[in-house]
Structures are given as C-alpha cells and as structure tokens.
Structure 1
Amino acid sequence: MLAFGRVGEEFEKRFAEFIGVKHVVAVSNGTVALYLSLKALGVGPGDEVVVPDFTFVATASAAMLLGATPVLVDIDPETYTLDPAEVERAVSERTKAVIPVHLYGHPADLDPLVKLGSERGFYVVEDCAQAIGAEYRGRRVGSFGTAAAFSFYPTKNMTTGEGGAVATSDDGVADTIRLLRNHGQRSRYYHVTLGWNFRMTDIQAALGLSQLRKLEYMNERRRELARVYREELESVPQLKLPEEKPWAKHVYSLYTVWVEGEGTRDKL
C-alpha cells in the first residue's frame, strides 16, 4: 500500500514503544503535529500559548493558526530551552498551553513546567522536533506532556523525508488527532467532523522503521562526536560550548556554540 496502512500502523506502534507512551499518531510533518496537538486540546481564539522566544517559527505559528496568541518567554542561556521561572511570570488566566522546545537536542526542564501546569490549569505540549531519543531524568522526552510533537524532516536525528508524529498517553487526544488527520473519518465514508489529509504514507513509515532501528546507535555517535568537539574547542576562550545538565541526555541534533565578546565571530 502506498498511502497510510499497515506499515504506518507498525511504525506508530514501534515509535510509541520507543518513546514510552500509549499512542503515536503519524502525520505529514512536525508543524502539523504541533497544530493538531493544540487543536485536540481545544486551543482557539482568546487563548494564550506560552512559547520560547528562541525557536523555529512553527512553535508559535501553530498557535496562531488556531486563533490563539503566542506569548514569547525567554530561555535559559545554558540550555537554550524555556526558563521555568519566566514561564511562571508569563502564565495568565488565558493560558491554555505551554510548549517547551527541546532545542538542539537538550531537554527542557520539564518537572517545574508540568507541576505548574497542574497547579494553574494549562496543558504541556512538548516540541521534540530536535530531540528524538533525548532523555529527562531517565525518561525519553515526549512522554511528559499531555501531547508531544515530533518532526522527521531530513535534518532531524531520524528522518522519513517529510513526516511527523504526535505522542500521547491520552486516549481522547489520540482519537481526536486520528480523526482530524484523515478528513474526520471514523470509518470508510463515515465522517463525524471536519478534518484534513495530514496522513503519513506507508513509504515514509517504512523509512521511519529502518531509521528507528539504528536511532540509538546514531544518537550515541552524535554524543561521541560532541565529546570530540569539546576536547578540541574547550581551550578557545571566546567559545561557550553546549551544556549537558546532570538530569539530561543530550542528543545533539546540532552542536551550537556561543561566541563571547564583540567582533570575534568573523575572526574565529
């Protein structure tokens, strides 16, 4: 089968086992995964969605496409991820969701955000596009929020060409997203709501299965190369190298450095 079928279902099952959640819904790309996650949680006009001010545009545009207002919050400069203290200051009565982005492969500090969400009544939707296989306190990212969005674009740690997925352990969220990705179709030609064609193809899913089998090896190779970069670059005083917090397993989707001091980048 060329469209979504048994291979796609197998990919969803295997990826859910890898992340440690009940459900994975494969979709056409990571932006769609973010959009459908927020849509399934009821985000809409009048709502606010807290997002980092340092991220890819899709994190904010997913909320805007639903009529919600993105609230930009500063990051922790050591991890490039949401600063929980800044999030707490930004949350209001209109906050419907917070999207921690595990940028460059380093997990956001999730425990304070999940706790705050429970206390203040908002959802946590993880953006795991750059952190497939990363871990927070021994658990894989994507298993902490009510939903989590993944991207399988060619620049990610694993790829299906184009593609994405939503991970969740919420039965209702998974059911809603499955409907929305396939024209609201409950069974053949029985449509119970409006929806789109946001499906992944079986060809993409087959590639995803092959990538998933070697993902842990490839992530470990990234970590090995990051150690080499650190050994070679730590003597350069103008460079601030990537951090790995004690509670994190970094998978280095990108190895980013911070150039300190004015006028030094071009010289370096």
Structure 2
Amino acid sequence: MIKVNAPYITEDEINAVIEVLKSGQLAHGPVVEEFEKAFSEYLGVPYTVAVSNGTVALYLALKALGIGEGDEVIVPDFTFIATASMVVAAGAKPVFADIDLRTYTIDPEDVKKKITKRTKAMIVVHLYGHPANMGELMDIAKEHNLYLIEDCAQSHGAEFRGIKTGSFGDVAAFSFYATKNLTMGEGGAVVTKSKEVAEKVKLLRNHGQISRYYHEVIGWNFRLTSIQAAIGLQQLRKL
C-alpha cells in the first residue's frame, strides 16, 4: 500500500543514501549531476540545474531571465505563496489573475486583461497534477513577447497533450519537498531549453563563482546535496 500522507521510501533510497555516506562526498558532487542528467532526459529538456528547494528555483528562474525592478509578472490568485513572494524578492511586482474554476489553474482570458506595458512574464502553476492550458498561454506569451515560467511544484510527470509539464516555457521550477510525488525531503530544480539561462542559474546557486575563489557576480548557496540527489534518483525511477 502506498500511503498518501507519507513519502514513499523503500530500501532503494536507503541504500543509495548509505552509498553517498560511504563515499564521503556529501555536498554537491557527481550524484547531483547524475540526477540533473536523468531528470532532463525524463522531461525531454536539455538543461536541469538542481537547487536547494522549489522556492529558490522560482527565484533563480526570475533572476536568470533578468526580471526585476519596474517589471510586472502575472501569477494566479490561487497558489502557494512562493509563486508571488519570489516575484517580490526579485524586485518585481506580482499581478494576480483569476483561475479557471474547472481546473483551478490560471485563466488565459483573465491573463490577457492583466497585461500592461510593464508586464515581462507570467508564472503558470500546474495545480494538483493538472496542467494549465498551455496551448492558449503559450500563444499569449508569444503575442505579447512575455517570458513563460512554469511552476511545476505539483506536476511531476503530468502531461499536456502528451508533453510533460516543465518543457513548455522559457524556464520551469520544480519542488522536491516531502509531500511531492518525487521527494528528496527538500530540494528543487530549474529546467530550461536555454544554455544561457542554465549557466546563469548555475552561477547564482554557487555564490557567483566561476572558478575557485573567483566570484563574478553576487550569488548564494542554493546548492543541492549528494544525499538529496541520491534519494531523488531512486524516486525518479518510481515516478
């Protein structure tokens, strides 16, 4: 029986963690890169950058796209607080759009009404495993030259017209929190088709460091650990 109120952990995850502990490489290491590669292959998107949690993933996605002061970002009015609070943290203004009451995801028609000359992006939240209407939302983003960011914290493995969520937008943010169907306890990922965006996220998650003791920009410690990645690899095989 799979419990709905507890993470689904087996001997696979336990043994994977033990192997990392024995290796002595507990922080960022080869296992993290192995997870990034496996998750990219699963989604069919070339770049995955693993980070410390889903909230951080949203923040780094916004920063990597250059969103900041003076910009507006359209977000759904029914979502977890991080969707909007990370827009504020990035220096931009969240603008709330209504949801479709049939799907609880952002309503494309209301998105159109909220676009102004300051709008730079929209964050689309796939909720309860149900994808948003990506066909219409992608058309809106293209017509108005907006970045499209997917919040996939609740849509690991979900598909829209046969294509996995996280592979539609300019960038996507995933969470691997304890309640997710792919969990590491804590953890997150930024997924993108853009090498430039991926490189920016990698830089920002590691103190802006481009080589040992050389820091090109201000960054943070938003790295994922090898212990978390080892759990994630085993979880991904069960998804």
Count of residue pairs brought into register by the alignment: 215
Q: Paired residue for 2:110, among 86, 96, 112? A: 86
Specify the alignment match of 2:34 in structure 1. 10
- 1:120 has 2:144 as partner: yes
Q: Paired residue for 2:129, among 77, 100, 105? A: 105
Structure 2, gaps ≥5 residues long: 1-24
Aligned residue for 1:104, secondary structure, equals: coil
TM-score scaled to structure 1, two decimals? 0.79
**CA deviation digits over 1:3-33, x for unaligned, max 9?**
1110000000000011110100000000000
Q: Paired residue for 1:53, among 77, 85, 105? A: 77
Specify the alignment match of 2:97 in structure 1. 73
- CA radius of gyration, larger in: 1
- 1:140 has 2:176 as partner: no
Measure, in 2, the Cα distance between the counterparts of 1:139 and 1:81. 17
Q: Which residue identity lines up with residue 44 of structure 1 in the other structure?
A: G
Aligned residue for 1:75, secondary structure, equals: coil
Structure 1, gaps ≥5 residues long: 216-268
Specify the alignment match of 2:153 in structure 1. 129
How big is the shift at 1:169?
Answer: 0.6
Specify the alignment match of 2:6 in structure 1. none
How big is the shift at 1:156?
Answer: 0.7
Specify the alignment match of 1:204 in structure 2. 228
Q: Which residue identity lines up with residue 212 of structure 1 in the other structure?
A: L
C-alpha RMSD of the superposition: 0.6
Specify the alignment match of 2:203 in structure 1. 179
Q: Paired residue for 1:149, among 173, 183, 199? A: 173
Specify the alignment match of 1:259 in structure 2. none
Aligned residue for 1:46, secondary structure, equals: coil
Specify the alignment match of 2:215 in structure 1. 191
Q: Paired residue for 1:41, among 65, 73, 84? A: 65
**CA deviation digits over 1:158-188, x for unaligned, max 9?**
1011000011010110000000000001122
How big is the shift at 1:122?
Answer: 0.9
How big is the shift at 1:192?
Answer: 1.0
Aligned residue for 2:124, secondary structure, equals: coil
Aligned residue for 1:89, secondary structure, equals: helix
Measure, in 2, the Cα distance between the counterparts of 1:199 and 1:96. 27
- 1:27 has 2:51 as partner: yes
TM-score scaled to structure 2, two decimals? 0.89
Measure, in 2, the Cα distance between the counterparts of 1:92 and 1:17. 37
How big is the shift at 1:66?
Answer: 1.2
Runs of 4+ more than 4 Å apart:
none
How big is the shift at 1:157?
Answer: 1.0
Measure, in 2, the Cα distance between the counterparts of 1:2 and 1:96. 39
